[in-house]
Amino acid sequence: MSFFITFEGVEGSGKSTQIQPLRQQLESRGHRVLTTREPGGCPIADAIRAILLDSANRVLVPRAELLLYAAARAQHIEQVVRPALAQGVIVLCDRFADATTAYQGGGRGLDAGLVKELNAIATAGLLPDLTLLFDLPVELGLSRARHRNQQEALLDEGRFELEELDFHQRVRAAYLALARHERRFRIVDATGDPGLVAARVTAVVDNFLTRGEQP
C-alpha cells in the first residue's frame, strides 16, 4: 500500500516538525515510510535548494526562482518519490507543487497559468493522495521561523523569512484558496504545542488510511 502525503504551510507552521512523529507512528503499525522534502530530497535537488533558500541570493528574479523549483522537483520525483511509491512505500514530503502555487503564484504574483504549466511539467502528472495544510497566523509563523533559524544556525536558508509580511499573507491566502478547491486537502490547526498538533495530524491521517482513498 503506497500513499503520497504532502505537508504544506507558511514559514514556521511546524510542518517539518510534524513529519517525524507521523513517520514513527506509521512505522510502528508496520508501514514502510519514506520522509523527504522540497526543494531537495536528492543530491541534485539539494544543490538547487542551496541556491533557492540562501538569503544572499535576494536578487534571484521570480521567473528564475520558479524554474529552479520546477527543475528540483522533476529530479526529486523521478529519483526518489516515484521509485518509493512503486515499492509500496508511504511517502511523506515536506512541501510539493502546491508550495509553488502558493509562493510563486500567490506570493510573487506570477501568472497562474504559467505556474500551473510548470507544475504539470515538473510533476508529470503526479498528485498527492492527501495534503495536510498547517495553518496559523503568518505573524506567529514568521516569529517561529526566525527564532528557529537563529537557534539552529540556518541563516543560509532564510531567504523567504526576509520577505515582507504582505508576501506571507498572500502565500497563506493562496494556500487557503487551494484547500477550498482541492478535495485532497485537510487543514490542520498549527497553533499550540507540537504534541497537540501531532494529535491533530494523527486523527486526520488515521481517518484517511482507514478509508484507504482520497479525502
Quote the pLDDT of residue 153. Answer: 55
Alpha-carbon span 122 to 70, nearest angstrom: 5
Q: Helix, strand, coil proportions of the chain in percent (round to 5)? A: 60, 15, 25
pLDDT of residue 156: 60
Strand, coil or helix: 156 = helix
Residues of the chain scoring pLDDT < 70: 149-157, 212-215
pLDDT of 212 reads 59
Q: At what angle do helices 194-211 and 15-28 cross, to 10 degrees?
A: 50
Q: Which domains does the chain have, with CATH numbers?
A: 4-211 (3.40.50.300)
Q: What phi and psi values does residue 101 have, to the nearest 5 degrees?
A: -60, -40
Please write the tens of the pLDDT for every residue from 159-201.
888 888 999 999 999 999 999 999 999 999 999 999 999 999 9
Place of cell 502546491: 98
Can you read off the three cell numbers belonging to residue 135?
495553518
Record the cell numbers describing residue 138, joined without a space.
503568518
Residue type, 128: P
pLDDT at 116: 97
Q: Tell me if the pTM is above 0.75.
A: yes
Phi, psi of 14 (to 5 degrees): 90, 5
- Alpha-carbon gap, residue 60 to 51, rounded angstroms: 9
The pLDDT tens digits of the residues spanning 149-169 come to 566 555 566 788 888 899 999
Dihedrals phi, psi of 5, to nearest 5 degrees: -115, 125
What is the pLDDT at residue 149? 59
pLDDT value at residue 143: 85
